[in-house]
Amino acid sequence: MNPKLRLLQPYPFEKLRALLAAAPTLPAEYAHINLSIGEPKHDAPECVKQAIADNLSGLSTYPPTKGDAALRNAIANWIGRRYNIPTPNADTQVLPCLGSREALFAFAQTVLDDASDSLVICPNPFYQIYEGATLLGGAKPYYVNAVPERNFSPDWSAIPAEVWEKTQLLFVCSPGNPAGNVMPESEWQLLFELSDRYGFVIASDECYSEIYFDEQRPPVGILQAAHRLGRHDFRNCIAFSSLSKRSNVPGMRSGFVAGDAALLESFLLYRTYHGSAMSPVFSAASIAAWNDEAHVKQNRALYKAKFDAVYPILADVLDVKMPDASFYLWAGTPVADPDFVRDLFGSQHVTTLPGSYLGREAHGVNPGADRIRLALVAPLAQCVEGAERIARFVRERY
């Protein structure tokens, strides 16, 4: 067996299941409300369903590793429209992928050279795929704590030069998971300058980019920031995006990778052997999704309604602020976060996720400790009832 597998830590939801198994007897009068996992629950758009139905003949065809040309064009055109930049080259700067999770992991295996002292920088707390991809790629993770004083954004300027010198890959997540913070253009400029100086690649996880609250101020993406700052070839810049959150189709496993053509050429070679190619059925459905914005605006409106209703309830009892984007609330707890989550579940039958499970102890602290992540993906009524139960639990217990 690959000895690197022993380096992997249990996934947060495995730890959550073990934690909740130790909860006291559940109250019979309460139906379960799950606010722990970021799995979209809104209906998939009709245009996607219809495209699947209309293209079932694609099941009889092997898909090309590079992806259908029409899909690559649809993605490239969407990028140009969404970020108000020249349309990327669909032949060299865009690759469809089976969701951002698969691509983030595989891309790290492409970039990392297995040198014993190589580093991968990632925010802390973080999406655990960053860490797993790093360890199985033969590198070591270097965690940059995201703290409240910086709107839960990592302080890239605090990383020592000797760390940057060994860094081959930097994972960025904006809008962030778990806090929903959006990175400003000034920080992109800093990272581009550091990349030029030290030669590392920037992998920008943007799977929450289309869940935001102000229609006039969509989050800035890496390709948009690169173009604005004169980096027109997207050198060492790769964006990862997905239809899962944008279009409520997590079961379709559809996304894209876009940016530096030289990096994508190597990534395509890796994927030729990796064997990840999108079915023509889902390729057609993805084209329909990328070409339609009406359902995405409706999706944002549903999330905004939930935040408008839930945030005031929780802000009255917990340390919490509205995120810049995404569908998470990142709330402070009055006691250790695993204890809070376990006792809340036992008392109110509401599941949340301990923040410490999303982070690692680094530089003397786990920045996820004493916080919980709440995913507002359930229907509005359930989210409101869940928030009311949490508020009641806090008032009665603490």
Residue 215 shares a structural domain with residue 77: yes
Residue 286 shares a structural domain with residue 387: no
Provide the residue range defining the domain that includes 135: 61-292
> How much is the pLDDT for 29?
86
260: CB partners within 8 A, 6+ apart: 93, 201, 233, 234, 235, 236, 237, 238
Residue 312 shares a structural domain with residue 268: no
> How much is the pLDDT for 322?
97
Question: Strand 371-375 relative to strand 119-124: parallel, antiparallel, unpaired?
Answer: unpaired
8 Å CB contact between 38 and 375: yes
Residue 154 shares a structural domain with residue 182: yes
Q: Which of 284, 351, 338 is nearest to 26 (CA)?
A: 351
Question: Strand 371-375 relative to strand 353-354: parallel, antiparallel, unpaired?
Answer: antiparallel
> How much is the pLDDT for 276?
85
pTM of the model: 0.96
Residue 392 belongs to a domain: yes
**3-state SS, one letter per residue, for the chain:** CCHHHHHCCCCHHHHHHHHHHCCCCCCCCCCCEECCCCCCCCCCCHHHHHHHHHCHHHHHCCCCCCCCHHHHHHHHHHHHHHHCCCCCCCCCCEEEECHHHHHHHHHHHHHCCCCCCCEEEEEECCCHHHHHHHHHCCCEEEEEEEEHHHCCEECHHHCCHHHHCCEEEEEEECCCCCCCCCCCHHHHHHHHHHHHHHCCEEEEECCCCCCECCCCCCCCCHHHHHHHCCCCCCCCEEEEEEHHHHHCCHHHCCEEEEECHHHHHHHHHHHHHHCCCCCHHHHHHHHHHHCCCHHHHHHHHHHHHHHHHHHHHHHCCCECCCCCECCEEEEECCCCHHHHHHHHHHHHCEECEEHHHHCCCECCECCCCCEEEEECCCCHHHHHHHHHHHHHHHHHHC
Residue 334 belongs to a domain: yes
Q: Residue 234: which CATH number?
A: 3.40.640.10
Q: Residue 22: which CATH number?
A: 3.90.1150.10
Distances (CA, A) of 140 to 117, 121, 155, 191: 7, 9, 19, 20
> How much is the pLDDT for 246?
97
Residue 52 belongs to a domain: no
> How much is the pLDDT for 140?
97
For each successive 10 residues of the chain (398 residues), what is the average pLDDT? 93 96 83 95 97 97 95 98 98 96 96 92 97 97 94 94 98 97 96 98 98 96 98 97 97 97 97 92 98 98 98 98 97 98 96 98 97 98 98 96
How far is C-alpha 48 from the chain's CA centre? Answer: 22
Residue 173 belongs to a domain: yes
> How much is the pLDDT for 26?
79
Count of domains observed in the chain: 2
Residue 117 belongs to a domain: yes
Residue 283 shares a structural domain with residue 299: no
Residue 93 shares a structural domain with residue 198: yes
> How much is the pLDDT for 200?
98
Residue 264 belongs to a domain: yes
Residue 186 shares a structural domain with residue 257: yes
Residue 87 shares a structural domain with residue 223: yes
Q: Considering 261, 292, 323, which residue would you say is the last residue of a domain? A: 292
Residue 197 shares a structural domain with residue 276: yes
> How much is the pLDDT for 293?
98
Q: Which of 80, 73, 24, 374 is nearest to 223 (CA)?
A: 80
Question: Strand 167-173 relative to strand 350-351: parallel, antiparallel, unpaired?
Answer: unpaired
Distances (CA, A) of 357 to 263, 308, 318: 32, 27, 19
> How much is the pLDDT for 42?
96
The CA distance from 338 to 326, in Å, is 23
Residue 259 belongs to a domain: yes
